[in-house]
């Protein structure tokens, strides 16, 4: 009898989960909507926001699932194909899912577009339709610097805002890094960082990663000059070893937090952690300028809806909430990130200004040209194919003029497959 009761309970729990409800919600008749993210630090913020949503919508419960970034895209692709993906999920590369009919069309689901950041709306627009609710924007790329190490090298932080990189006499970045290398284990995080290093260097060299038709074009003459410059900084001992950075995407950030890296080129997504953990004076400077100017990325994170959801009406209600200023208030409070709602973006600047941090370099750089990874399908597959080739290039085992065409061919092959 006991065994029969246990078996019956297991069957009921399984049936509840299969139907999109958990056991606690079944009794109350609440529909469970799943939300998938890749950053665990945002779970308490989402929980605070969604608790408010649930108080106003007592028939819906939102369950948050965290899948680490390292496996996020691969698992999402498999789950969407297998029909086991969450109702809602963070997305940065969405084109192949939109083309395959896997995503809810936002305007059709929610009505006219809200007051979202125009760049984020453009990022998630394909074939004239919006495919995700813009949630956060990164702002531009800038350079975090260690004031103590700059002082030890006799460098005025204000001079960082006029740095230039490039061949010949125009290069003021390399001489400055040599001075920093004399007082720090590493001067600068030149290396394999797609968003914060490689794309800005490609753009400021006058190159692109992908053209308007979605073709990979990162092996041009200008692109070769950009990567040869980065590889040269590593070869000269001005950046951390590729043996560390090729295998650990957080190595440079951690080295900066440990006081072992003088200049860390990155985005606002690391600002809160640096502010909390850095035990030395630091600041933010403008991105170095290249032959084609100062060029940054301007990426956003969106929340996409799964067309296979068993609860379309409840899913749309959650999407509408997450796209509103009320729904994102808890998500962006205390300078955690920049809201995609334009009306909330001043709060971010004000918060950090009140804490003595000038974040204008992240925004001023966006007044100039910007570079995108492209919205065509297959980006993540392409980046996985490129990784080992770039690893060999940064390690000095593969010349840049040979590595880039090989990486482009690998990217094209990955997309075709």
Query: Considering the domain boundaries, does residue 7 fall inside one?
Result: no
Q: Which domain holds residue 38?
A: 20-138+302-353
Regarding whether 291 and 195 lie in a shared domain, the answer is yes
pLDDT for the residue 109: 78
Regarding whether 134 and 74 lie in a shared domain, the answer is yes
Regarding whether 74 and 194 lie in a shared domain, the answer is no
Side-by-side strand order, sheet with 282-285: 186-188, 261-266, 142-146, 282-285
pTM: 0.85
User: At a CB cut-off of 8 Å and minimum separation 6, what does 380 contact?
Assistant: 73, 74, 77, 93
Query: Considering the domain boundaries, does residue 62 fall inside one?
Result: yes
pLDDT for the residue 113: 64
pLDDT for the residue 20: 39
Contact 338, 345 (CB under 8 A): yes
Regarding whether 315 and 187 lie in a shared domain, the answer is no
CATH number of the domain encompassing residue 131: 3.40.190.10
DSSP code of residue 138: -
pLDDT in tens, the chain (417 residues): 444 444 444 333 333 333 333 444 444 578 999 999 999 989 999 999 999 999 999 999 999 999 998 789 889 989 999 999 999 999 988 888 999 999 999 988 786 666 899 889 999 999 899 999 999 998 999 999 999 999 999 999 999 999 999 987 689 999 999 999 999 999 999 999 999 999 999 999 999 999 888 899 999 999 999 999 999 999 999 999 999 998 898 999 999 999 999 999 999 999 999 999 999 999 999 999 999 999 999 889 999 999 999 999 999 999 999 999 999 999 999 998 999 999 899 999 999 999 999 999 999 999 999 998 766 678 888 999 999 999 999 999 999 999 999 999 999 999 888
pLDDT for the residue 380: 82
Regarding whether 197 and 151 lie in a shared domain, the answer is yes
Regarding whether 204 and 69 lie in a shared domain, the answer is no
Written as six digits, the tokens of 129 are 């339709």
Regarding whether 224 and 75 lie in a shared domain, the answer is no
Regarding whether 227 and 159 lie in a shared domain, the answer is yes
Among 338, 353, 368, where does a domain finish? 353
Regarding whether 46 and 128 lie in a shared domain, the answer is yes
Written as six digits, the tokens of 6 are 């246990």
Regarding whether 412 and 333 lie in a shared domain, the answer is no
What is the phi/psi pair of residue 36, to 5°? -110, 130
Query: Considering the domain boundaries, does residue 224 fall inside one?
Result: yes
Query: Considering the domain boundaries, does residue 348 fall inside one?
Result: yes
Closest CA to 252 of 298, 189, 314: 189
Closest CA to 95 of 198, 214, 202: 214
Q: How do strand 142-146 and strand 282-285 relate by DSSP bridges? A: antiparallel
Contact 20, 49 (CB under 8 A): no
d(CA 285, CA 77): 38
Regarding whether 153 and 189 lie in a shared domain, the answer is yes
Query: Considering the domain boundaries, does residue 210 fall inside one?
Result: yes
Query: Considering the domain boundaries, does residue 68 fall inside one?
Result: yes
Q: How far is CA 356 from the centre of its chain?
A: 25
Within 10 angstroms of residue 168's Cβ, the number of other Cβ atoms is 5
Regarding whether 110 and 54 lie in a shared domain, the answer is yes
Query: Considering the domain boundaries, does residue 200 fall inside one?
Result: yes
What is the phi/psi pair of residue 61, to 5°? -125, 135
Query: Considering the domain boundaries, does residue 266 fall inside one?
Result: yes
Place of tokens 């605070």: 48
Structurally, the chain folds into a number of domains equal to 2
């Amino acid at each position: 009898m006991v065994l029969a009761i246990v078996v019956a309970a297991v069957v009921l729990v399984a049936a509840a989960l299969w139907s999109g409800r958990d056991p606690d919600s079944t009794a109350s008749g609440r529909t469970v909507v799943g939300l998938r993210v890749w950053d665990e630090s945002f779970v308490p913020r989402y929980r605070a926001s969604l608790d408010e949503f649930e108080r106003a919508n007592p028939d819906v419960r939102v369950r948050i699932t965290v899948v680490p970034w390292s496996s996020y895209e691969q698992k999402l692709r498999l789950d969407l194909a297998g029909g086991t993906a969450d109702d809602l999920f963070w997305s940065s590369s969405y084109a192949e899912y939109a083309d395959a009919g896997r995503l809810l069309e936002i305007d059709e689901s929610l009505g006219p577009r809200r007051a979202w950041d125009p760049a984020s709306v453009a990022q998630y627009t394909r074939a004239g339709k919006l495919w995700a609710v813009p949630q956060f924007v990164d702002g531009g790329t800038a350079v975090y610097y260690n004031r103590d190490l700059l002082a030890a090298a006799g460098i005025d932080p204000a001079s960082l805002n006029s740095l230039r990189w490039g061949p010949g006499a125009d290069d003021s970045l390399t001489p400055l890094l040599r001075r920093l290398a004399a007082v720090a284990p590493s001067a600068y995080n030149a290396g394999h960082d797609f968003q914060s290093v490689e794309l800005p260097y490609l753009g400021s060299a006058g190159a692109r990663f992908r053209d308007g038709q979605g073709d990979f074009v990162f092996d041009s003459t200008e692109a070769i000059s950009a990567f040869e410059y980065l590889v040269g900084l590593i070869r000269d001992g001005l950046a951390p070893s590729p043996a560390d950075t090729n295998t650990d995407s957080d190595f440079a950030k951690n080295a900066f937090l440990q006081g072992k890296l003088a200049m860390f080129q990155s985005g606002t997504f690391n600002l809160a952690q640096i502010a909390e953990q850095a035990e030395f004076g630091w600041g933010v400077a403008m991105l170095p300028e290249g032959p084609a100017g100062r060029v940054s990325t301007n990426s956003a994170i969106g929340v996409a809806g799964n067309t296979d959801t068993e609860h379309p009406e409840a899913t749309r209600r959650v999407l509408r909430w997450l796209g509103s200023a009320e729904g994102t208030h808890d998500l962006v409070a205390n300078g955690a990130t920049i809201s995609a709602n334009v009306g909330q973006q001043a709060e971010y600047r004000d918060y950090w200004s009140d804490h003595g941090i000038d974040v204008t370099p992240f925004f001023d750089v966006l007044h100039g040209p910007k570079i995108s990874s492209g919205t065509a399908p297959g980006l993540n597959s392409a980046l996985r194919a490129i990784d080992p080739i770039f690893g060999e290039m940064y390690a000095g085992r593969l010349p840049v003029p040979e590595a880039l065409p090989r990486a482009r061919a690998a990217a094209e092959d990955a997309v075709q497959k």
